[in-house]
């Protein structure tokens, strides 16, 4: 069976400073990872983050080891400027969630959205 993707959400935040736009697309995928199970994919600025069970288990382990319920995925975020960023997080819970924060210079607060992952993580 081929991987079927469905766009769940598109986040577009315009920066009035230079009229640029940060765009993030979140989509569900029917087959991800080595086991070919459902998951989520976050696409932004030519990059993508796959929320599939094996990778999420690794992130969850790192979060628990650090004593956190919310883990910033530093290697999978565009976090170059303090006033303009796209940050991806793993939020532990049942079910776990993917959190996306998008901020531009002209906005005082980031746009924050969470998406439930279609699987649970063993503790």
d(CA 75, CA 89): 11
Given a cut of 70, whether residue 37 has pLDDT beyond it is yes
- Look at residue 123 in the predicted model and tell me its pLDDT: 75
Does residue 82 fall inside a structural domain?
yes
Given a cut of 70, whether residue 1 has pLDDT beyond it is no
d(CA 38, CA 22): 27
Does residue 123 fall inside a structural domain?
no
Does residue 43 fall inside a structural domain?
yes
Q: What is the dihedral of CA 12, 59, 76, 4, to 10 degrees?
A: -60
Continuous H helices in the chain: 53-65
- How confident is residue 77, by pLDDT bands cut at 50, 70 and 90? very high
As for how many domains the chain has, the answer is: 1
Single pTM value for the model: 0.93
Does residue 122 fall inside a structural domain?
no
- Look at residue 3 in the predicted model and tell me its pLDDT: 86
Does residue 52 fall inside a structural domain?
yes
Does residue 93 fall inside a structural domain?
yes
Give yes or no for a contact between 30 and 1, defined as CB atoms under 8 angstroms apart. yes
Give me the chain's average pLDDT, please: 95
Pick the closest to residue 78 from 51, 55, 104, 56 (CA basis). 104
Does residue 60 fall inside a structural domain?
yes
Does residue 71 fall inside a structural domain?
yes
Mean pLDDT, rounded, for 13-31: 95
Mean pLDDT, rounded, for 2-8: 92
pLDDT 10s digits, 113-122 = 999 999 998 8
What is the span of the domain harbouring residue 65? 5-116
Mean pLDDT, rounded, for 85-98: 96
- Look at residue 122 in the predicted model and tell me its pLDDT: 81
Give yes or no for a contact between 99 and 113, defined as CB atoms under 8 angstroms apart. yes
Mean pLDDT, rounded, for 50-68: 96
């Amino acid at each position: 069976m081929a991987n079927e993707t469905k766009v769940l959400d598109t986040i577009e935040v315009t920066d009035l400073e230079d009229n640029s736009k940060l765009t993030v697309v979140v989509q569900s995928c029917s087959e991800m990872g080595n086991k070919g199970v459902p998951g989520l994919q976050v696409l932004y600025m030519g990059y993508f983050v796959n929320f599939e069970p094996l990778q999420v288990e690794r992130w969850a382990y790192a979060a628990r080891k650090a004593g956190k319920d919310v883990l910033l995925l530093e290697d999978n975020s565009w976090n170059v400027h303090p006033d303009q960023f796209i940050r991806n997080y793993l939020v532990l819970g049942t079910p776990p969630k993917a959190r996306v924060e998008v901020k531009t210079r002209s906005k005082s607060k980031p746009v924050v959205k969470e998406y439930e992952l279609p699987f649970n993580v063993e503790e």
